[in-house]
Structure 1
Amino acid sequence: MTAAPVLSLEGVTLDLKTGDDYVRILRDVTFDVAAGEIIGIVGESGSGKSMTALSILQLLPPKARLTAARIGFDGADLAGLRPAELRKVRGRRIGMVFQDPMTTLDPVVQVGRQIDEAYRIHHPRAGRAEAREKSLAMLRLVGVPDAQNRAKQYPHQWSGGMRQRAVIAMALVNDPEVILADEPTTALDATIQAQVLDALMRARDELGVAVVLITHDLGVISQVASRVVVMYAGGVVEIAGTRELFADSRHPYSAALIHSRPGAHRRGEPLVAIPGRPPLMSDLPAGCPFAPRCASPYKSERCVTQRPALEPSVDGRLSACHYRDEPQEVIA
C-alpha cells in the first residue's frame, strides 16, 4: 500500500449482550485503509463484516461493549471519542451506505431535499441555494440523469438502482474522506449493480474518497477492490491484494470461497459448496475456527488445538493459518 492510511483498525473487539451473558462478535479485527483506496471485506453471513463497519462509527446496539487498541482516523482514536465528537465524524467525514436505500430515504420527502438536509446538518450556515447546488453536483457525479428535475421526485418514483445512487450522493455530499458501503449492490440485477459500482469508483477517482466495500459477492470485489480483507467467525483470516488473493490464497477459507463462487467451474460441472456451517459465536472451537470445515491436506492436530494469529507469510501477505506458506488448494 503506497498511500498513508486514512483509517486504521487495531485489535477491534466487540461483545454483544444476549440474555444474561455477553457474546464476542468481533475478535481483534485489524486492517488499514489508504486514502483513495477501495478495499473489500468479504465472508459468509455472520462473519462480522457489517458489525465491523458499524463499530467504526459506533452505531451499535444498547449494552454493546467495544474494546479496541485503536480506531485511528486523522490522528484521533474514534473508539475514545465522546458522543458529541463522534457526531461530527458520522456523515461528515465518514459516510455510510446501507444495503437497502429505503431504510435511509424518507418516503414522503423529495430526494433532493433529503440530500440538502444532510448537507445543512453539518453546514448550518449554508443557505438553501448552496445546499441544492451541492446536492445536484453529487447526483450528477453518481450518474443521475436530469438531476435537477429528478431531485424533486420522491423515492418511490426512483428505481432501486437510482435510489442507491441517491444514497451514495447523500453519503458524499459533505466531502467525506471515507465511505463505508455495506452490501450496496445486493438485490440489484447485474446491469444496475455495475452502475452502482461505477458510482463508487467515480467518487474514488474524482473526490479521492476511500471506500470500504462490504459484500459477499467475490465478483464485485474482483471488479473494483485493490485489496481484500477476508473475515470468518468474527476475525480477519487473510488480507491480500485482490489479484494475489484470487491467484494464490494464503488461507484455506479464502481458497474455498473463491472455489465455490459461480463461474469458478467449467460449464456443466456442479458448484462446490464449503462443507458444514460457520460456528456459533458463543461456541467457537479452541483452535482455528475454520478447522471443522477445512479440507486442506495440511490440516493437523495443531489446527484443532491452537488458534493461529494473523501474521505475514513468506511474501508478506497476512494470513491466520498455521500453514500460510503452503499452497492452499481446495479438495472437492
Structure 2
Amino acid sequence: MPLSTTRSDAALSLRGVTLDLQTPSGPVRILHDISFDVAPGEVIGIVGESGSGKSMTALTVLRLLPPGAELSGSIQFSGRDLASLSSRELREVRGKHIGMVFQDPMTTLDPVVRVGAQIDEAYRIHHRRASHAEVRRRTIEMLELVGVPDAAQRAQQYPHQWSGGMRQRAAIAMALVNDPAVIIADEPTTALDATIQAQVLDVLMRARDELGVAVVLITHDLGVIAQTASRVVVMYAGRIVEVASTHELFADSRHPYSNALMRSQPGAHERGEPLVAIPGRPPSMTDLPLGCAFAPRCASPYKNDRCFAERPELELSIDGRLSACHYRDVRQEVIA
C-alpha cells in the first residue's frame, strides 16, 4: 500500500483501517485496509454504490460501531489514534473536534425539543462553564452562518416546523457549533430537491472557506462531487479501488468500476439516450470473490482469468495514480 506514512499536515489520516462485524454466522469483514488523508480546508469525496462501505467508513472514524465490532489500523487526528481511545476520550472528540452530518436530519434532531435548545446542548456539553447567554449567542451565530433567516425566532421552533432543507441546515449548525477541524457529511443532500441541495452544499463550502474545516463528503451523486470535492476516494465491496483528483477521475478514471460509475450518470448521455446501468449487483460481504470483487460485473476488454483468481492491490500506476486494477496502466474503456 503506497500510503504508508501519515502526512504531517493532514487533518485526518486513516491507515490500514479494517473492520469486522459480528453476525449470526460469525464475523464478517466490512472494511478492508482503508487508507486516505484529508488536509485542513480540503473537501474529499467518498463515492460508490450502496453497500460499498462509504457510510461504514464514516461511522468507523468516530467509532460509532455496534457491540462486538473489531477494528484494526490507525485513525490519526491531532496526534492521537482514535482507534485506541477510551469511550470517555472519544466523547471529547465527537462533536467538538470532529462533527457529523447524517443523511436524515431527524436522526440528529429530537422531534420534541426546540431546535435552538438542541444546538445549545451540543455546545454546552463541551463548554460547561459557558453562560446561558453565551451559549444562545453561539447557537444564533451558527444558525445565521448556515443561512437560517430570523435565526433567533426560528430557534424557538420544533423540528417539524422546519422544512427538510432547513432541518439539514440545523444539523450542519449543530456539527459546526464547536468549531471542529473535520466535518463528515454522510449523504447530506439525499432526498432534497435540486435547489435545496445546492443551498446545503453552499453551506458546507462556506464552512470550509470561512472556518477552514476539512470536509469528508460521502455521496452516491457524482454531480455533487464535481461541484465540491478536490479529491475522490472510490469504494467497492468495502475496499478503495481508486483515489484521484476530481479532474483526473472525471477525465480519465483508471479503474473499470470508476469508469462504469461515470457512464451511469444521467449527465453522461445525450437527451433521449437510454441510461447505461452497471450490470449485476455488488457482491455479498459474506461471500466475496477470490480475485477482484468487481470482476463479475466488469466490462473492460482487458478482463481475463487473472482478475478472477488474483485480487489486485491499490497501487500506483506509472503516472502516479492510485488504482486497484491489474491493468491500471492502461486507459479503461468500458464497453456499454
**Aligning the two structures, in what range does the TM-score lie when normalised by the shorter sequence?**
over 0.9
Following the alignment from structure 2 to structure 1, what is the Cα–Cα distance between the partners of residues 322 and 171? 33
Q: 1:16 aligns with which of 13, 21, 29?
A: 21
- Using the TM superposition, give the Cα deviation of residue 107 of structure 1 relative to its aligned residue in structure 2, in angstroms: 1.1
Structure 2 counterpart of 1:109, which letter?
Answer: V
Task: Provide, for residues 206-235 of structure 1, a one-character-per-residue CA deviation record: whole Å limited to 9, x for no partner.
Answer: 000001000011111111011000000000
Following the alignment from structure 2 to structure 1, what is the Cα–Cα distance between the partners of residues 194 and 251? 24
For residues 299-318 of structure 1, what are the structure 2 equivalents within 5 Å? 299-318=303-322
Structure 2 counterpart of 1:194, which letter?
Answer: A
2:68 is equivalent to residue 63 of structure 1: yes
For residues 46-195 of structure 1, what are the structure 2 equivalents within 5 Å? 46-68=51-73, 70-195=74-199
Following the alignment from structure 1 to structure 2, what is the Cα–Cα distance between the partners of residues 9 and 3? 13
Question: SS of the counterpart of 1:191?
Answer: helix
Q: Which residue of 1 aligns with 2:206?
A: 202
Q: Is the 8 A contact 1:14 1:26 kept in 2?
A: yes
Alignment TM-score, normalising by the size of structure 2: 0.97
Q: Is the 8 A contact 1:3 1:35 kept in 2?
A: no
Task: Provide, for residues 88-128 of structure 1, a one-character-per-residue CA deviation record: whole Å limited to 9, x for no partner.
Answer: 00011000000111111111111111101100000000111
Following the alignment from structure 1 to structure 2, what is the Cα–Cα distance between the partners of residues 132 and 324? 54
For residues 193-232 of structure 1, what are the structure 2 equivalents within 5 Å? 193-232=197-236
Identity of aligned residues (%): 76
For residues 260-299 of structure 1, what are the structure 2 equivalents within 5 Å? 260-299=264-303
Q: 2:240 aligns with which of 233, 236, 243?
A: 236
Following the alignment from structure 2 to structure 1, what is the Cα–Cα distance between the partners of residues 194 and 15? 35
Structure 2 counterpart of 1:21, which letter?
Answer: G
- Using the TM superposition, give the Cα deviation of residue 20 of structure 1 relative to its aligned residue in structure 2, in angstroms: 3.9
Following the alignment from structure 1 to structure 2, what is the Cα–Cα distance between the partners of residues 205 and 329? 37
Q: CA RMSD in A?
A: 1.0
Q: Which residue of 2 aligns with 1:40?
A: 45
Q: Which residue of 1 aligns with 2:3?
A: none
Task: Provide, for residues 118-147 of structure 1, a one-character-per-residue CA deviation record: whole Å limited to 9, x for no partner.
Answer: 000000001111111111111111111111
Any gaps of 5 or more consecutive residues in structure 1?
none
Task: Provide, for residues 22-75 of structure 1, a one-character-per-residue CA deviation record: whole Å limited to 9, x for no partner.
Answer: 01110001111111011100000000000000000000011111111x111111
Q: Is the 8 A contact 1:112 1:152 kept in 2?
A: yes
2:254 is equivalent to residue 250 of structure 1: yes
2:336 is equivalent to residue 328 of structure 1: no
Following the alignment from structure 2 to structure 1, what is the Cα–Cα distance between the partners of residues 321 and 145? 35
Higher mean Cα deviation, 230-239 or 136-145? Answer: 136-145
- Using the TM superposition, give the Cα deviation of residue 262 of structure 1 relative to its aligned residue in structure 2, in angstroms: 0.9
- Using the TM superposition, give the Cα deviation of residue 148 of structure 1 relative to its aligned residue in structure 2, in angstroms: 1.2
Q: Is the 8 A contact 1:309 1:320 kept in 2?
A: yes
Following the alignment from structure 2 to structure 1, what is the Cα–Cα distance between the partners of residues 268 and 278? 14
Alignment TM-score, normalising by the size of structure 1: 0.98
- Using the TM superposition, give the Cα deviation of residue 298 of structure 1 relative to its aligned residue in structure 2, in angstroms: 0.9
Q: Is the 8 A contact 1:3 1:34 kept in 2?
A: no
Any gaps of 5 or more consecutive residues in structure 2?
1-6
Question: SS of the counterpart of 2:27?
Answer: strand
Structure 2 counterpart of 1:37, which letter?
Answer: E
- Using the TM superposition, give the Cα deviation of residue 295 of structure 1 relative to its aligned residue in structure 2, in angstroms: 0.6
Please list every run of at least 4 consecutive aligned residues from structure 1 whose deviation after the TM superposition is greater than 2 angstroms. none
Structure 2 counterpart of 1:244, which letter?
Answer: E
2:30 is equivalent to residue 25 of structure 1: yes
Q: 1:4 aligns with which of 6, 9, 12?
A: 9
Question: SS of the counterpart of 1:270?
Answer: coil
- Using the TM superposition, give the Cα deviation of residue 328 of structure 1 relative to its aligned residue in structure 2, in angstroms: 1.1
- Using the TM superposition, give the Cα deviation of residue 267 of structure 1 relative to its aligned residue in structure 2, in angstroms: 1.1
Following the alignment from structure 1 to structure 2, what is the Cα–Cα distance between the partners of residues 20 and 298? 36
Q: Is the 8 A contact 1:164 1:184 kept in 2?
A: yes
Question: SS of the counterpart of 2:286?
Answer: helix
Question: SS of the counterpart of 1:263?
Answer: helix
Higher mean Cα deviation, 228-237 or 127-136? Answer: 127-136
- Using the TM superposition, give the Cα deviation of residue 331 of structure 1 relative to its aligned residue in structure 2, in angstroms: 0.3
- Using the TM superposition, give the Cα deviation of residue 3 of structure 1 relative to its aligned residue in structure 2, in angstroms: 8.9
Q: Is the 8 A contact 1:7 1:73 kept in 2?
A: yes
